[in-house]
Amino acid sequence: MLQKSIHILKGLQYKTGLFAASSMNVKTGYNLSWIRDNIYESLGFEALKDYKSVKKTFHALLDILLKHEYKIDWAIKEKPKHRHQYIHARYNPITMEEVWEEWGNKQNDAVGALLFKIGDLELKGIKIIRNENDLRIMQKVVYYLESIEYWKDRDNGMWEENEEIHASSVGACVAGLKKISRAVDIDIPEELIKKGEDSLADILPRESETKETDLALLSLIYPYNIAAKSQREIILKSVEEKLLRERGVIRYKRDRYYCNEFGEAQWTMGLCWLAIIYKKLNNPEKYAHYFRMAVNSINRKGELPELYFAGSDKHNENSPLGWAQSLFVVAQAEE
């Protein structure tokens, strides 16, 4: 299963180093590259110690920021008023140009995730920063988060939906700023982190004003590890009691994306996510339970699709989902 997953994941990586969110041939738009998805898709290769593939992805992500540096400069100079003025979330994997349409493009968690993972890899001795250009753009991303006032900015969040202050977005930025501040020599005002921590404390254990429990909250446990023990316990209990289903985890209650008369769509990556968390919490019984559930959600092609329709063994066309395949690799390979 591990070798199959690695093979599937490698098949999603373009020559540029960027990953498609799903199959390169899929017609849903998931043949494109999201910043966030690329970071999560690289986790599988990191767990395998395939640092060449990891570096290729992060160098491509840095190249995207450098290509659009003028846009970041504008956002630093004046706080963005419109979605298109934010760092874009989705790109053509070959040309690295923005893919524009009217959608939930304000995704601060993706920016925080990029800072976090670059800092994390640097601290592990895996050199991502290549030169002064990379260092300069990292500094500008920090100033960008300050300009947009990430701690109180209403973004579209991990699921690209309605604009709210999301705990998962604020938490990603806090984790990113803290990690990059330890890894590279750039200016990060302490107040910038403190404002995010205060905001996060006010929101948690909710995800947002309209969402009490959300699959996205698991990111505060893994990979960010910034939820306090009491918060972690509440998040896990809520996800398991309210969102867990037979073939996956629903994103949140009353989610309309691919829902049907039987309920919300069930995301397979949620099972892998829970398996990883319980493995890291040294709970082998729960780890094995969720890993088995993930295995049972593999389709006939050996892939983990994005989601299964409620009350059904049918999944949507986004198969494999790179994010799910990567977390499945991490669940098996990570010590």
Task: Name which of 17, 23, 92 is nearest 324 in CA terms.
Answer: 23
pLDDT at position 101, please?
75
* Secondary structure of residue 115 in the 3-state scheme: helix
Whether the bond into 205 is cis, omega within 30 of 0: yes
pTM: 0.97
pLDDT of 202 over the 70 cut: yes
pLDDT of 334 over the 80 cut: no
pLDDT of 262 over the 90 cut: yes
Task: Name residue, tokens 């977005």.
Answer: 169
pLDDT of 93 over the 90 cut: yes
What's the mean per-residue pLDDT of the chain? 96
Report the distance separating Cα 303 and Cα 294, nearest Å.
11
pLDDT at position 227, please?
96
Q: 66, exposed or middle or buried, with CB in 10 Å at 0-12, 13-18, 19+?
A: middle
For residue 210, which phi and psi values (nearest 5 degrees)? -95, -15
Report the distance separating Cα 75 and Cα 163, nearest Å.
18
pLDDT of 24 over the 80 cut: yes
Residues 97-152: tens digit of each pLDDT = 999 777 788 999 999 999 999 999 999 999 999 999 999 999 999 999 999 999 99
Average pLDDT of the residues in 194-215: 97
Q: Residue 24 carries which side chain, given as an amino acid letter?
A: M
| Cα–Cα–Cα angle for 112, 207, 113, rounded to 5 degrees | 15
Report the distance separating Cα 307 and Cα 325, nearest Å.
12
Task: Name which of 93, 104, 186 is nearest 144 in CA terms.
Answer: 186
Strand-pair category, 33-34 with 90-91: antiparallel
pLDDT at position 169, please?
98
Q: How far is CA 56 from the centre of its chain?
A: 18
Report the distance separating Cα 107 and Cα 158, nearest Å.
7
Residues 169-178: tens digit of each pLDDT = 999 999 999 9
pLDDT of 302 over the 90 cut: yes
Proportion of the chain in helix, strand, coil states, percent, rounded to 5: 50, 5, 40
Q: What is the DSSP letter of 205?
A: T
For residue 75, which phi and psi values (nearest 5 degrees)? -70, -30
Q: What is the DSSP track for 249-291?
A: B-SSTT--TT-BTTBS-EETHHHHHHHHHHHHTT-HHHHHHHH
CATH classification of 2-241, choosing from 1.50.10, 1.10.1760, 1.10.3470, 3.10.20? 1.50.10
Residues 57-69: tens digit of each pLDDT = 999 999 999 999 9
- Domain-by-domain residue ranges, the chain? 2-241
pLDDT at position 34, please?
97
pLDDT of 335 over the 60 cut: no
pLDDT at position 1, please?
87
Bridge partners, 267 (sequence order)? 249, 307
Residues 305-332: tens digit of each pLDDT = 999 999 999 999 999 999 999 999 999 9
Instruction: Quote the strand ranges of 174-329, DSSP E.
Output: 266-267, 307-308
Looking at the chain, the whole-number percentage of residues with pLDDT higher than 90 is 96
For residue 83, which phi and psi values (nearest 5 degrees)? -55, -45
